Amino acid sequence: MSLLLGASILQPAGPAARSIASLWPWLLWASVVAVVVVVVLMAVSMRRRGRLDDPVDSTEPRWGVGFIIIAGVAVPFVVLAATYVMSLVEMRELASGGDGAETTIEVIGRTWWWEVRYPNGATTANEIHIPAGEPVMLELTSADVIHSFWVPELQVKVDQIPGRTSELWIEADQPGQYRGQCAEYCGLQHANMIVQVVAEEPEEFERWLDEQARPAADPEGLAAEGRDVFMSTTCVGCHTIGGTEAQGDLGPDLTHLASRDTLAAGVMDNTAGNLAQLVTDPQSVKPGMIMPPTQLPDEQTEALVAYLMELE
Ligand code: CUA
């Protein structure tokens, strides 16, 4: 549930989001003033209109052309120009903020999940681990349709366009989890295309990264039976498990599936029961997803889940 709370642009958790959030009060109060002025003018003009049939009172002040030029041209020009300049200053800061980022992470949008690749070969899904307190460069692209990467507490949203790579730096002040969301309509499960940025102390991040680049450990007992089930069903065609013959790339890399918090891109917690449901009836979890159902005898499902839950 914690995934669904927080994630507001008004609670920035990193330097980029903070600088964006600093624009917000200015825009809010400028808009409030504009609305109040317009409403007052409307009220005044309605009162006058009510008296339209009265004879014109030549002693009443007439604002005329001068008023139109000031209120209709000069004031909006000043307000829009000021907003534009403030945005330009902000954009320049945002553009250079990622200079010196030491880690570059590829984030590939897919229907409807996120593939995440690190330079050391570690590949994961729907969770982007980063070291807290330093900028990290993301290379954003898409494998199919246009998606948009947005973690409101950390940065602006950036479209992920097939055949193009866009760079975006992110930085989190403190260790913690920051929820992101696909922000460009991409089909049936667009709303369930959730990404989690996990910021950790740098040493902890390094440990995680080394661990994720390792092949899967050899299973024993029930889990070993589960591996045989995996390798003999459709699973093997679409997923990769490092160190095994499973090298598919249609679905998420499962080498360290058990280390992730959620399944199906943030839709459900990563538990044995949920995993069993996802394997046997994926359409009930995420209607429209391309994963086919895997109908197996109960004991085989149990073994398969035991194997997957061991992939830490
Ligand atoms: Cu991906 Cu919306």
Residue 272 pLDDT class (50, 70, 90 cuts): very high
Which pLDDT value is given to residue 93? 85
Residue by residue, DSSP assigns 30-47 as HHHHHHHHHHHHHHHHHH
Rounded CA separation 204/2 (Å): 22
From the alpha carbon of 191, which atom of ligand 1 is closest? Answer: 2
Q: Which uninterrupted H or E stretch holds 224?
A: helix 221-232
Token pair of 142 as six digits? 């898409």
* Percentage of the chain lying above the pLDDT 90 cut: 73
pTM over 0.95: no
Q: Which residue bears the tokens 């740098």?
A: 202
Average pLDDT in the 276-280 region? 92
Ligand 1 midpoint to CA 190 (Å): 4
Rounded CA separation 48/119 (Å): 70
Ligand 1 midpoint to CA 74 (Å): 41
Q: State the number of CA atoms in the 13 A half-sphere of 75 facing the CB.
A: 13
Which pLDDT value is given to residue 14? 93
Pairing relation of β-strands 123-125 and 127-131? unpaired
Which pLDDT value is given to residue 251? 93
Average pLDDT in the 216-245 region? 92
From the alpha carbon of 145, which atom of ligand 1 is closest? Answer: 1
Residue 67 pLDDT class (50, 70, 90 cuts): confident
Q: Which residue bears the tokens 């809010």?
A: 28
Residue 62 pLDDT class (50, 70, 90 cuts): low
Asked if pLDDT for residue 99 goes beyond 90, the answer is: no
Average pLDDT in the 232-258 region? 93
> What residues are in contact with ligand 1 under a 6 Å CB criterion?
109, 112, 147, 182, 184-186, 190, 193
Residues 6+ apart with CB under 8 A from 163: 141
Rounded CA separation 201/204 (Å): 5
List Cα–Cα distances, 299 to 197, 235, 263, 278, 304, in angstroms.
36, 17, 22, 16, 9
Are the beta carbons of 162 and 180 closer than 8 angstroms? no
Domains and CATH numbers, the chain: 1-44+63-200 (2.60.40.420), 222-308 (2.60.40.420)
Ligand 1 midpoint to CA 267 (Å): 14
Rounded CA separation 138/63 (Å): 56
From the alpha carbon of 160, which atom of ligand 1 is closest? Answer: 1
Asked if pLDDT for residue 52 goes beyond 80, the answer is: no
Residue 223 pLDDT class (50, 70, 90 cuts): very high
Ligand 1 midpoint to CA 75 (Å): 40
Pairing relation of β-strands 136-142 and 103-110? parallel
Ligand 1 midpoint to CA 145 (Å): 8
Asked if pLDDT for residue 300 goes beyond 80, the answer is: yes
What are the residues facing 141 on neighbouring strands?
Answer: 108
Q: How many CB atoms lie within 10 A of CB 27?
A: 12
Rounded CA separation 252/264 (Å): 9
Q: Which uninterrupted H or E stretch holds 11?
A: none
Which pLDDT value is given to residue 175? 97
Asked if pLDDT for residue 169 goes beyond 70, the answer is: yes
From the alpha carbon of 186, which atom of ligand 1 is closest? Answer: 2
Average pLDDT in the 154-173 region? 95
Which pLDDT value is given to residue 3? 44
Angle of helix 75-96 relative to helix 24-50, nearest 10 degrees, comes to 160
Asked if pLDDT for residue 76 goes beyond 60, the answer is: yes
Q: What is the 3-state secondary structure (H, E, C) of 146-176?
A: CEEEECCCCCCCEEECECCCEEEEECCCCCE
Asked if pLDDT for residue 277 goes beyond 90, the answer is: yes
Are the beta carbons of 153 and 13 closer than 8 angstroms? yes
Asked if pLDDT for residue 1 goes beyond 50, the answer is: no
Residue having the nearest C-alpha atom to atom 1 of ligand 1: 147
Residues 6+ apart with CB under 8 A from 25: none
Average pLDDT along the chain: 90
* Percentage of the chain lying above the pLDDT 70 cut: 93
34 φ/ψ angles, rounded to the nearest 5 degrees: -60, -45
Asked if pLDDT for residue 231 goes beyond 80, the answer is: yes
Mean pLDDT lowest among 17-21, 58-62, 282-286, 305-309: 58-62
Q: What type of residue is 135?
A: P
Residues in the chain: 312
From the alpha carbon of 146, which atom of ligand 1 is closest? Answer: 1
From the alpha carbon of 184, which atom of ligand 1 is closest? Answer: 2
Which pLDDT value is given to residue 68? 84
Average pLDDT in the 260-271 region? 93
Ligand 1 midpoint to CA 73 (Å): 40
Which pLDDT value is given to residue 53? 62
Residue 4 pLDDT class (50, 70, 90 cuts): very low
Ligand 1 midpoint to CA 103 (Å): 25
Rounded CA separation 179/4 (Å): 8
